[in-house]
Amino acid sequence: MLTIVSDLLLTDSFLIKGNVENKYTRLSQILDEHRKYFLKVRDATLIDLKTCERIKTPLLHVNLDEVLMAHELLDEAGDHHMRVDVPDSELHRVRVFYTGMLNVEVAGYVRPGAYEADDHLSRRFFVLRKPAVRGFKDQGDADLKLLGSLSYLILNKTRLSYIYDFN
């Protein structure tokens, strides 16, 4: 049986593929505005980052504090008008670092100040465009390799350890 997957979530231990339940808008907005501790993911596959072992479950509750990065593979809930982006010329080039169990560096482009607590357009999560992921070992796994080929990532600003803003 083929399951269509729309969402990716990366934690310190797992890459989680599935479908965020009751998604009414873009994944970045869902993550940023979710008022509960746990996000429900249907038809979830957890891929262990160390062993590439897979665990499948019909329903998974993911603690939002555990999410490092996310991506919406299928735009099933989005509205074209909600994709209004800041022009590339106004973006800042940054390198962000997550340290802990999973040491990862991601370079890309963000709105100026998107990672700050006083950013008026986001609370906990912000979008980084044209990401380049380093320090992450995909071990030849096709699903884990996806992280190196995405056009954007949604980052959890509360989990960032260091930010180097080139501007």
Reported as a single tens digit per residue, the pLDDT across 18-74 is 999 988 889 999 999 888 999 999 999 999 999 999 999 999 999 999 999 999 987
Q: Which domains does the chain show, CATH number per domain? A: 7-72 (2.30.30), 89-165 (2.30.30.100)
Place of tokens 């509205």: 79
DSSP string, 45-109: EEEETTT--EEEEEEEEEEGGG--EEEESS-SS--GGGG----GGGPEEEEEEE-SSS-EEEEEE
> In the predicted model, is pLDDT for residue 10 greater than 50?
yes
> In the predicted model, is pLDDT for residue 5 greater than 90?
no
- Place 97 in a pLDDT band, splitting at 50, 70 and 90: very high
For strands 54-63 and 38-48, give the pairing: antiparallel
Contact 153, 71 (CB under 8 A): yes
Instruction: Look at residue 75 in the predicted model and tell me its pLDDT.
Output: 59
Instruction: Look at residue 71 in the predicted model and tell me its pLDDT.
Output: 96
**pLDDT digits 0-9 by tens, 119-157:** 988 889 999 999 999 988 899 999 999 999 999 999 999
Instruction: Look at residue 85 in the predicted model and tell me its pLDDT.
Output: 57
Q: By CB neighbour count within 10 A (0-12 exposed, 13-18 middle, 19+ buried), where does 101 fall?
A: exposed
CA distance 39 to 156: 14
CA distance 37 to 167: 34
Contact 76, 23 (CB under 8 A): yes
> In the predicted model, is pLDDT for residue 114 greater than 80?
yes
Instruction: Look at residue 83 in the predicted model and tell me its pLDDT.
Output: 43
